[in-house]
Structure 1
Amino acid sequence: MFDALDHVILAVRDLEDATRHYATLLSRSPSWRGDHPGWGTANVLFRLNNTYIELITPYGDGPLGRTVATQLDRRGEGPMGLAFATSDLDTAHAQLAANGLEPSPVAPGLGRDTDTGQVRRWRSVLLPDTRTRGVLMIAIEHESPDRLPEAQPVGSKDAIVSGIDHVVVHTSDADAAIALYHEGLGLRLALDRNFPDWAMRLVFLRVGAVTVEIAQPLRDAQLPARTDQIWGLSWNVPSADAARTRLAAAGLDVSEVRPGHKPGTRVATVKSGTCGVPTLLIEAAEPA
């Protein structure tokens, strides 16, 4: 049903400040600065090699702006939504409806770049949060994908962020989350395993070149039974050492590089400058 994780939506209070933070984190310049006439939001986009990140804030009045404002009031800045890409939204809409997810009618969308005046158009449907366990979730079909350029690297290519490795979603009910993401959305189920040493059940689902990781504590679950929360982002980097050195020189609080849980990977944790998003940098294992 879906070709990719189209983008991850981060709610921010100060768009310019958040843009500076993410330009530093990613070592890239923004792809797009725009607004959504009638929706009550403004945004900045960074397109990477396998998805893009959307920083969004209330701007004027509109239904999406009110949703973002509610997120900021309740949870503060951080990840709030996932958009899944399809090349055939009408067919996807029918399948989502058949799967009981009650998608909204297909609606046209329009974004305008405030620097260049360029316009991007798309069609999308919104899934009600009563069916998505509280996560803002969108299905989208782009009508002008050539309008969003790559977020251009700044500085050494060894030290940039190249893409998203995985998105972490916290849940109190992994079985219900599997029913949503695997059975409802059609994401491929790659792993479902308990890790007693970490007191976690982890479920990995794949869509395009990105993993959605569902994490359920094996004890002391803190989320309401029917609510999930997008929690953190893990980013691919060519060199963990180069990325860590760059971020530390920029004044960010970043851990030392250490071995990752996946054999052969190397990781570092970014502890500041992420707008409230738990953030991990991952250097992939060398091919065998």
Structure 2
Amino acid sequence: MASRDAGPILGLDHITLVVEALDEAVAAYETLFAQGCGGRGAAEGLDWARFGLANTALVLVAPRGEAGAVARHVAHRPDGAPAALGALAFATAAPDGAARLMERRGLPAAGPALPWLGRQATPLLPDAARGLHLLLTPPGPATASATRLDHAVIRSGDPERTIALLAGRLGLELRLDRSNPAWGQRLLFFRCGELVVEVSHELAGGITDAPDSLWGLTWRVADVGATHARLAAAGVPVSPLRVGRKPGTRLFTIRDHAAAVPTAFIGA
């Protein structure tokens, strides 16, 4: 997941997805990815299951009992939400040095490094990250997988401040900034290693002080038609295939089979 960009961030090591029933979520994602869960474990206040993918990992986390320090950072979800994307964990070769750099840029650590997934992870202060839960961690193990993350979507009420966070503090490269009244959105695309972090802003809503939120995931596969047919045959509720905005691509969405997280698959 090495990045060509300058700066301490090598890529997106993993994303956490907070769920209520871990076994059910594991079974659902084993079907979606056509691969088994790569490992399971527990931390203070949660159980977890990790899916290693071609350029990142998806870690399902199920809170239990009183939340420990790790759970407060990786298992955050809005009150009343049965499931939600919890945190983005960025890979860096030198987490301590990266944390010091982030602090100089106005994005301090929320506390000391914590044991997480067999490594140390440094949580960054959500109040300085537009409400997002972000971690710095050494890169995890590489995984051979037919699925890779194409992009993760953040919803923002103030895209200029989100640019300051992602580009100015984290050092991600802003590749494209496009507003389209027909879509009703301003979309920004940041390169993060071998994937993209997309920021979506609703034009009709104007600029607000609301915190940013992790919203959805789009997974890339080599043969999206075959994946669509496989999932439909398995009883997964999928939308019809449609032509993507990027030339030469098609995509479909998943309905109610991805722990309530907006999910799409894209490919040729």
**Fold agreement, TM-score > 0.5:** yes
Answering whether residue 56 of structure 2 is matched by residue 32 of structure 1, we say no
Q: How many residue pairs end up in the alignment? A: 260
Partner Cα separation in structure 2 for residue 141 and residue 68 of structure 1: 16
Q: The residue matched to 1:16 in structure 2 has which SS?
A: helix
- Give me the identity figure in percent: 35
Answering whether residue 73 of structure 2 is matched by residue 76 of structure 1, we say no
Partner of 1:175: 160
Distance change >3 Å, CA 132–CA 74, structure 1 → 2: farther
Answering whether residue 157 of structure 2 is matched by residue 150 of structure 1, we say no
Report if aligned partners of 1:81, 1:135 keep a CA contact under 8 Å in 2. Answer: yes
Answering whether residue 263 of structure 2 is matched by residue 270 of structure 1, we say no
Partner of 1:255: 239
> What is the Cα-based RMSD across aligned positions, in Å?
2.0
Report if aligned partners of 2:73, 2:133 keep a CA contact under 8 Å in 1. Answer: no
Report if aligned partners of 1:106, 1:123 keep a CA contact under 8 Å in 2. Answer: no
Distance change >3 Å, CA 59–CA 125, structure 1 → 2: same
Partner of 2:53: 48
Partner Cα separation in structure 1 for residue 153 and residue 128 of structure 2: 19
Partner Cα separation in structure 1 for residue 164 and residue 101 of structure 2: 15
User: What amino acid is the match of 1:78?
Assistant: A
Quote how far apart the aligned CAs of 1:105 are.
Answer: 4.5
Q: Normalization by structure 1: what TM-score? A: 0.85
Q: How do residues 197-236 of structure 1 correspond to structure 2 at under 5 angstroms?
A: 197-220=182-205, 225-236=209-220
User: What amino acid is the match of 2:190?
Assistant: L
Quote how far apart the aligned CAs of 1:12 are.
Answer: 0.2
User: What amino acid is the match of 2:245?
Assistant: H
Unaligned runs of 5+ in 1: 112-119, 154-160
Partner of 1:16: 23
Quote how far apart the aligned CAs of 1:68 are.
Answer: 6.5
Partner Cα separation in structure 2 for residue 3 and residue 65 of structure 1: 24
Report if aligned partners of 1:58, 1:66 keep a CA contact under 8 Å in 2. Answer: no
Partner of 1:135: 132
Partner Cα separation in structure 1 for residue 248 and residue 214 of structure 2: 27
Partner Cα separation in structure 1 for residue 69 and residue 174 of structure 2: 33
Partner Cα separation in structure 1 for residue 86 and residue 230 of structure 2: 28
Partner Cα separation in structure 1 for residue 10 and residue 100 of structure 2: 16
Partner Cα separation in structure 1 for residue 95 and residue 186 of structure 2: 33
Q: The residue matched to 2:266 in structure 1 has which SS?
A: strand
Partner Cα separation in structure 2 for residue 125 and residue 24 of structure 1: 32
- Which piece of structure 1 moves more, 224-233 or 176-185? 224-233
Quote how far apart the aligned CAs of 1:235 are.
Answer: 0.3
Partner of 2:63: 58
Answering whether residue 93 of structure 2 is matched by residue 87 of structure 1, we say yes
Report if aligned partners of 1:11, 1:72 keep a CA contact under 8 Å in 2. Answer: no
Unaligned runs of 5+ in 2: 1-7
Q: Normalization by structure 2: what TM-score? A: 0.91
Distance change >3 Å, CA 264–CA 250, structure 1 → 2: same
User: What amino acid is the match of 1:55?
Assistant: L
User: What amino acid is the match of 2:58?
Assistant: I
